[in-house]
Amino acid sequence: MAGTKALLMLENFIDGKFLPCSSYIDSYDPSTGEVYCRVPNSGKDEIEAAVKAAREAFPGWSSHSPQERSRVLNQVADLLEQSLEEFAQAESKDQGKTLALARTMDIPRSVQNFRFFASSILHHTSECTQMDHLGCMHYTVRTPVGVGVPPGVVNIVFGTGPRVGEALVSHPEVPLISFTGSQPTAERITQLSAPHCKKLSLELGGKNPAIIFEDANLDECIPATVRSSFANQGEICLCTSRIFVQKSIYTEFLQRFVEATRKWKVGIPSDPLASMGALISKAHLEKVRSYVKRALAEGAQIWCGEGVDKLNLPTRNQAGYFMLPTVITDIKDESCCMTEEIFGPVTCVVPFDSEEEVIERANNVKFGLAATVWSSNVGRVHRVAKKLQSGLVWTNCWLIRELNLPFGGMKSSGIGREGAKDSYDFFTEIKTITVKH
């Protein structure tokens, strides 16, 4: 059709070259609901080519000194930073998130991560012990398992989980798997990788509680909890979805929290005043909405958002996957909205009486990724943080990361940790060498 803009066609990146695919999948712009690009629908052949390229590149790359590899990682960081705006625009269009968030968090964090590990790789040490009575010395070395950036070192293969994902995780020459996603997918990965005894790092879902005690500073707590509940449309595994508020301040907190939530503007990703953009897909939008319907069917009350307030969008974006931030109350701890990961702009606010009670209720889910605790009592903060079954606990703040320290969840929220030492341990194999002299 005359005047129709050509679709963006993505290609796989294998052995340092962009390669077309025999079939493609439509990819939708979440803010309009329209197809904006086509993605390769790869399968076993593309995975075989990528594994072959990685295998051939591995000896050369793994023999590079830490200084050489550090230089390459810093170069990647520089290139990302030089094209920050271009990457931010692409990330916003693909994910539906606000352009402001992509500019200030996603791309800068990527740059920071490359620079952090470029520095970290220079400071790892090995272990050494002596057994003088036997005339022996023991020491450890670590050998790389994964690969890095010259041709064949990084390969990007697009496709669906059942086709390309299963081909990758079941391939006998892929020694380890690092996965971020849902628990059902992680279960399938575990099944397929088990015959090969692969190393796994699984960063899965969360049902993260915020515990707000009566001595919390609400002027700081409320805006931070709005952000922790609805940032990136609630599509962050670390987002708060259960808010426990001590009874003496419950009414005040709820009123102020709902008022603050209503001020969060839902708008097109390019709107600089928008706090939230669109959800990732139409299917996911319907899934998130279904939780609100189920809550209503159970007798819960919706204070703002879905079905209560009006969503105003430009005509072109009416078919986009937008949803208002939604606050639910009068809901039981056993409800699906309080036990299952929704991964959207929906949070539940419930009252509690005592410290012991709220710890038990907060821990009473299968997940254990993150939690936040709000209190001015330092002793209570440490006491509660220690008892919560969460891999990460933020107190009087949210989403402040220190890359030197472990990141990961307990229970069904995953296996393994990420971070300087933990990532180094995961992506290398340790070997103990004994020398008798």
What tens digit of pLDDT does each residue of 242-271 get? 999 999 999 999 999 999 999 999 999 999
Which residues sit opposite 203 in a β-bridge? 180, 414
pLDDT digits (tens, 9 = 90+) for 150-194: 899 999 999 999 999 999 999 999 999 999 999 999 999 999 999
- Say which DSSP state 214 is in: T
Confidence (pLDDT) at 274: 97
- Residue environment code for 365-402, b if the CB has 16+ CB neighbours within 10 A, otherwise e: bebbbbbbbbbeeeebbeebbeebbbbbbbbeebbeee
| Main-chain phi, psi angles of 85, to 5 degrees | -65, -40
Residue among 46, 91, 166, 203 flagged as catalytic: 203
Confidence (pLDDT) at 133: 86
Q: Are residues 84 and 163 in the same domain?
A: yes
Q: Are residues 341 and 217 in the same domain?
A: yes
Confidence (pLDDT) at 268: 97
Identify whether 297 is part of a domain: yes
Over residues 262-284, mean pLDDT: 97
Task: Kindly report the three-state secondary structure assignment for every residue of 55-98.
Answer: HHHHHHHHCCCHHHHHHHHHHHHHHHHHCHHHHHHHHHHHHCCC
Confidence (pLDDT) at 437: 79
Report DSSP letters for 105-133, one per residue. Answer: IIHHHHHHHHHHHHHHTTS----EEEEGG
Residues 227 and 276: beta-carbon distance below 8 Å: no
Residues 413 and 241: beta-carbon distance below 8 Å: no
CB atoms within 10 A of CB 240: 27
Identify whether 260 is part of a domain: yes
- Say which DSSP state 22 is in: S
Q: Are residues 298 and 170 in the same domain?
A: no
Over residues 290-309, mean pLDDT: 98
Reference 116, options 420, 406, 401, 399; nearest CA is: 420
* Statement: residue 426 has pLDDT above 50: yes
Q: Are residues 289 and 317 in the same domain?
A: yes
Q: Are residues 144 and 229 in the same domain?
A: no
Identify whether 404 is part of a domain: no
Edge-first strand order for the sheet with 346-352 is 301-304, 326-329, 346-352, 240-246, 208-212, 370-374, 392-395
- Residue environment code for 161-177, b if the CB has 16+ CB neighbours within 10 A, otherwise e: eebbbbbbbbbeebeeb
pLDDT digits (tens, 9 = 90+) for 392-415: 999 999 999 999 999 999 999 999
Q: How far is CA 313 from CA 162, 344, 395, in A?
A: 36, 19, 36
Domains held by the chain: number: 2
* Statement: residue 341 has pLDDT above 90: yes
CB neighbour list of residue 24: distance below 8 Å, 6 or more residues apart: 9, 38, 39, 40, 41
Q: Distance from CA of residue 214 to its chain's centroid? A: 31
Choice among 36-50, 144-158, 266-280, 316-330 with the minimum mean pLDDT: 144-158
Global pTM reads: 0.94
CB neighbour list of residue 59: distance below 8 Å, 6 or more residues apart: none
Check if 203 is active-site. Answer: yes
CB neighbour list of residue 393: distance below 8 Å, 6 or more residues apart: 370, 371, 372, 373, 385
Q: Which residue has 């987002």 as its token pair? A: 239
Q: Distance from CA of residue 57 to its chain's centroid? A: 29
* Statement: residue 118 has pLDDT above 50: yes
Report d(CA 383, CA 377) in Å as an integer.
Answer: 10
Cα torsion 310, 313, 319, 325: sign: negative
* Statement: residue 272 has pLDDT above 90: yes
Confidence (pLDDT) at 146: 57
| Main-chain phi, psi angles of 128, to 5 degrees | -150, 135
Tokens at 259, concatenated: 């008022």
Report d(CA 157, CA 182) in Å as an integer.
Answer: 20
Identify whether 406 is part of a domain: no
Tokens at 380, concatenated: 């209570």
* β-strand pairing of 240-246 with 301-304: unpaired
Identify whether 273 is part of a domain: yes
* Statement: residue 142 has pLDDT above 50: yes
Q: Are residues 159 and 56 in the same domain?
A: yes
Confidence (pLDDT) at 88: 98
The CATH code of the domain that includes 315 is 3.40.309.10
Q: Are residues 277 and 213 in the same domain?
A: yes
Q: Are residues 194 and 232 in the same domain?
A: no
Edge-first strand order for the sheet with 176-180 is 176-180, 199-203, 414-415
Identify whether 402 is part of a domain: no
Confidence (pLDDT) at 4: 55
- Say which DSSP state 187 is in: H
* Statement: residue 148 has pLDDT above 90: no
* Statement: residue 114 has pLDDT above 70: yes
The CATH code of the domain that includes 21 is 3.40.605.10
Q: Are residues 216 and 199 in the same domain?
A: no
pLDDT digits (tens, 9 = 90+) for 352-383: 999 999 999 999 999 999 999 999 999 999 99
Q: Are residues 173 and 220 in the same domain?
A: no
Q: What is the residue range of 223's domain?
A: 208-395
Mean pLDDT value across the chain: 95
Confidence (pLDDT) at 3: 46
Q: Are residues 51 and 74 in the same domain?
A: yes
* Statement: residue 24 has pLDDT above 70: yes
Confidence (pLDDT) at 1: 39
Identify whether 400 is part of a domain: no
Identify whether 408 is part of a domain: no
* Statement: residue 41 has pLDDT above 80: yes
Q: Are residues 118 and 251 in the same domain?
A: no
